[in-house]
Amino acid sequence: MMGTEVVDAEIALTVNGAERRIPTGWTLADILASLGLDPRVVVIEHNGIILRDRAAFASLPLAEDDTLEIVHFVGGG
Amino acid sequence: MASDLAVLPSLATLTDPQPFVIAGREFRSRLMVGTGKYASNAQMIEAIDASGAEIVTVAVRRVDLDRSKADAILHYLDTDHFFLLANTAGCYTASEAVRYARLARAAGFNEWVKLEVIGDQQTLLPDTVGLLQATKTLVDEGFKVMAYTNDDLITALKLEDEGAVAVMPLASPIGSGLGMLNPYAIRTIKQRLSVPVIVDAGVGTASDACIVMEQGVDGILMNTGIAAAQDPVRMAAAMKSAVEAGRHAYLAGRMARREVAVPSSPTAGMIGS
């Protein structure tokens, strides 16, 4: 394949500790939508950095080998 | 004079001369409750309502991506009515607790955190060295830190020095329901600290809550004592009354303890004397 431009249709990233494959070009908003998650009730850590700007994070592009932690509030004492 | 009955003091009508204030914010209830371990979200909401609590604690966890619908507690809690206090439960190092606190703050509700740094899996007793480190870091970042700690005065004083807005000594280990094991330690911490002292963990039933409040502490945080009762909603109501009763008993000032009996009825005027 030397010299041939190959664009992978998918990339692999780690979401909550498990590998997931998503279409190339997806944003954070796309993956949240595909997981059925309401962006208003989750908090995202992207490659170790907490995303504090909710308005901006939807358009965040995702890349191969990215790590996402998607957390939310649950019952606790 | 039936109209006089209306002014007789009762738990419902007595006012507290001291408002319950943490970091400049006044809260309507000295009882704070957790949201874990309930049989259902509906039961949790009913119990919280019965407790009269304003501050409710929540934990931060990964979303379970394998479930078709994420069970975020925010779908059930009315955040206009309750003050969400995120905890760092389950964290065993200062850096882990700091990470969880930052995640909680990014949820966008407030910059408060109930800071837990656990030191031992069996007892869930706090790692006070890690707790002090995490408190310092988070206070520097602008967090309002309510620090879950043991009933050690020196640690409590250091937490206050580091800028904790409230210090939360345990009554007994988390989830144990053993009640207050060391009233002397709790009283001493309350007497020596300027920030609010809120007893967190170990309250098993209403009398436990009452005795804790009788020590003069500012409030109580509990979860399992309500959630693990046979009837959590009724126990929540009982805890509400117990916290109020204990608070008023403290304010009223109890009688002195005596090792001998003192008659309540006159000794004079007995027939045949």
Going by DSSP bridges, is the β-strand pair A43-46/B25-27 parallel, antiparallel, or unpaired? unpaired
Chain A, 34-73: which have a CB under 8 Å from a chain B CB?
A: 35-38, 40-43, 45, 50-52, 54, 69-73
CB B218 within 8 A of CB B31: no
Give pLDDT, residue B4.
59
pLDDT tens, residue by residue, A21-37: 999 999 999 999 999 88
Q: Do B103 and A45 touch (CB under 8 A)?
A: yes
Give pLDDT, residue B2.
52
A73 → closest Cβ in B59, B201, B224: B59
Q: DSSP label at B32?
A: E
Distance between B156 CA and the closest CA of chain A, angstroms: 20
Q: Which domain holds residue A41?
A: 11-71
Domain membership of residue A41 (yes or no) is yes
CB B130 within 8 A of CB B97: yes
B60 → closest Cβ in A18, A37, A71: A71
What is the DSSP track for chain B? -GGGGGGS--TTTPPPSS-EEETTEEES-SEEEE--S-S-HHHHHHHHHHHT-SEEEEEEEE--TTSSS---GGGTS-TTTSEEEEE-TT--SHHHHHHHHHHHHHTSS-SEEEE--B--TTT--B-HHHHHHHHHHHHHTT-EEEEEE-S-HHHHHHHHHHT-SEEEE-SSSTT-----S-HHHHHHHHHH-SS-BEEES---SHHHHHHHHHTT-SEEEESHHHHTSSSHHHHHHHHHHHHHHHHHHHHH-PPPP-SS---SS-SS--TT-
pLDDT tens, residue by residue, B68-113: 555 778 888 988 999 999 999 999 999 999 999 999 999 989 999 9
> In chain B, where are the structural domains located?
25-63+70-252
B136 catalytic? Reply is no
How many domains would you assign to chain A?
Answer: 1
Rounded to the nearest integer, the mean pLDDT of chain A is 88
Domain membership of residue A76 (yes or no) is no
Looking at B114, B144, B158, B240, which residue is catalytic? Answer: B114
**Taking CA atoms, what residue in B is nearest to A16?**
B62
Task: Please state the pTM of the whole predicted model.
Answer: 0.90
B102 and A CB contact within 8 Å: yes
Return averaged pLDDT per consecutive 10 residues of chain B, 273 residues in all. Answer: 64 87 97 95 95 97 76 85 96 98 95 97 96 98 98 98 98 96 97 98 97 98 97 98 97 95 92 86
Distances (CA, A) of B165 to A14, B116, B239: 37, 14, 24
- What CATH number is attached to the domain comprising A23? 3.10.20.30
Q: Do A77 and B174 touch (CB under 8 A)?
A: yes
Contacts of A69 in chain B (CB under 8 A): 62, 103
Q: What ipTM describes this predicted complex? A: 0.87
Rounded to the nearest integer, the mean pLDDT of chain B is 94
Domain membership of residue A53 (yes or no) is yes
Domain membership of residue A3 (yes or no) is no
Does domain B25-63+70-252 fall under CATH 3.20.20.70? My reply is yes
CA-based torsion, B229, B100, B193, B17: positive or negative:
negative
